Chains A and B, each alone.
Chain A
Amino acid sequence: MQLPIPTNVHSDESHKVEDIKKVVRRIKFESELDHNFGEHIAEKAYGQKLLGCIQCGTCSATCPLSHYMDYTPRKVIAMTREGFKEEVLNSLTIWLCASCYSCTVECPRQIHITEIMYALKREAIQHGYYPKRLTIPVLAREFYKRVLKDGRNTESWVLVSLYLHTNPFAMIKEAILGIKLFLRGRLTIGKERIKRRDQLHAILGNTKGGSQI
Chain B
Amino acid sequence: MKYLYYPGCSLRSTGRAYDESLLAVSKKLEIQLEEINDWNCCGATSYVSIDEIDAFSLAARNLALAELQSSDEEVNLIAPCSACYLALLKTERFLEEVPDVSAKINSSLYKAGLHYNGRVNVRHPIDVLVNDYGLENISKRIETPLKGLKIACYYGCQSLRPYATFDDQYHPMTMEKIVEAIGAEPIDWSLKTRCCGGSLTGTIQEAGLRLNRFLLKEAQKSGAEIIITCCPLCQHNLECYQERISRFYDEEINIPVLYFTQLMGIALGLSEKEVSMHRLFKKPSLKRFSQKGAAAHAW
Q: Which residues of A contact B (CB under 8 A)?
A: 1-3, 44-46, 64-65, 68, 96, 98-102, 104-105, 112, 114, 118-119, 121-122, 125, 135-137, 139-141, 143-144, 147, 151-156, 159, 162, 174, 177, 180-181, 184-188, 192, 194-196, 198-200, 202-210, 213
Contact = CB atoms under 8 A, between A and B. Distances in A.
Nearest to B241: A177
A100 B159 CA distance: 10
Interface string B137-165: 00000000000000000000110011000
Interface in B47-89: 47-54, 57-58, 61
Interface in B28-51: 38-41, 43-51
A72 B136 CA distance: 46
A46 B200 CA distance: 25
B47 A208 contact: no
Interface of B: 9-10, 12-17, 38-41, 43-54, 57-58, 61, 94, 98, 101, 104, 108-109, 111-114, 157-158, 161-162, 169-170, 194-195, 197-200, 202-207, 211, 240, 248, 278-281
A209 B280 contact: no
A211 B199 CA distance: 24
A2 B209 CA distance: 11
Contact of A187 (B13, B162, B169, B205): B13
A1 B241 CA distance: 14
A206 B203 contact: no
A168 to B, nearest CB: 14
Contacts of B10: 155
Given A112-B162, A204-B58, A194 B40 contact: yes
Nearest to B208: A98
Contacts of B170: 105
17 contacts: A44-B52, A45-B94, A45-B101, A96-B207, A98-B157, A100-B158, A101-B162, A122-B52, A139-B46, A151-B40, A187-B13, A200-B58, A200-B112, A202-B111, A203-B108, A204-B108, A210-B50
B161 A155 contact: no
A50 B197 CA distance: 25
Contacts, number: 196
A209 B53 CA distance: 9
A200 B199 CA distance: 25
Contact of B43 (A147, A205, A209): A147
A198 to B, nearest CB: 8
B94 A98 contact: no
Contacts of B195: 64-65, 98, 100, 102
B240 A177 contact: yes
Contacts of A177: 240
Contacts of A136: 199-200, 203-204
A59 to B, nearest CB: 13
B52 A154 contact: no
